Amino acid sequence: MAGFDFAVILNNLPFLWQGLQLSLLLTGLAILGGIVFGTLLALMRLSGILPLSLLAATYVNLIRSVPLILVIFWFYFLVPLALGRPIGSFYSALIAFTLFEAAYFSEIIRAGIQSVRKGQVHAGQATGLNYWQIQRHIVLPQAFRNMIPILVTQGIILFQDTSLVFVVSLRDFMTVSSIVARTEGRLVEMYIFAACVYFVICFAGSLFVRHLQKARTA
């Protein structure tokens, strides 16, 4: 490590920060959209209405059976064709990440909903609440409280997966790190730095998950 050049990192920090911002923005928006859509899918699967349940189950099983990079390609090439106009690499990637993660969030949320005791659902029915009111006021608040650790874990995985957006020419953190590594000829420094950044962010997220799990059992 005697020849390790810290200057190449410091000199390119603004460019690297732009890439990290893109990765974090994609992660945050995809988590938000994925949780919203995933909640809808979970409720559809548990609704007892056969067409809705089958539709949601088909979507979840289809998306979970294909690699994320293929989904990114689908939306990068097919959405513009369907709309008749380009929507840009960022929005194509965001749609792909959101819909892909929704399938995984759906299963997490479905398990969380099923973890809520049936007696509380029956109590809601006894007071005259319908299915959607019971879910909104009784089940979902408790389910999300139980699901937060695993949702954060899935968010960490999503952050790591944002490195795939290089296939649609987006400059996320990993992509800009590779650009700097090639242009400066300092592959060792940049890839070690990139690994350290990913480690710090993901490890911090893991510690947060551990803290939440301890808080639940305390």
Which pLDDT score is estimated for 143? 81
Looking at residue 185, which CATH number applies to its domain? 1.10.3720.10
- 130 domain-assigned: yes
Q: Is 6 exposed, middle or buried (0-12, 13-18, 19+ CB in 10 A)?
A: exposed
Which pLDDT score is estimated for 185? 84
Which pLDDT score is estimated for 122? 81
On the question of pLDDT at 97 being above 90, the answer is yes
- 88 domain-assigned: yes
- 192 domain-assigned: yes
Which pLDDT score is estimated for 2? 53
Interatomic CA distance for residues 90 and 34, integer angstroms:
16
Q: Tens digit of pLDDT for each residue in 26-54? A: 999 999 999 999 999 998 998 888 999 99
- 2 domain-assigned: no
**Domain residue limits at 157:** 7-217
On the question of pLDDT at 213 being above 80, the answer is no
- 59 domain-assigned: yes
Residue 5, SS3 per DSSP? coil
| Dihedral sign from CA coordinates of 198, 158, 94, 82 | positive
Contact 183, 171 (CB under 8 A): no
- 135 domain-assigned: yes
Which pLDDT score is estimated for 175? 93
- 43 domain-assigned: yes
The amino acid at 36: V
Q: Tens digit of pLDDT for each residue in 152-193? A: 889 999 999 999 998 888 999 999 999 999 988 888 889 999
**pTM, 2 dp:** 0.86
Which pLDDT score is estimated for 156? 92
Q: Tens digit of pLDDT for each residue in 108-140? A: 988 888 888 888 778 888 888 887 788 788 888
Which pLDDT score is estimated for 218? 59
CA-angle at 56, arms to 64 and 71, nearest 5°? 35
- 81 domain-assigned: yes
User: CA 126 → CA 11, 120, 131, 140, 180, distances in Å?
Assistant: 66, 10, 12, 18, 63
What total of structural domains would you count in the chain? 1
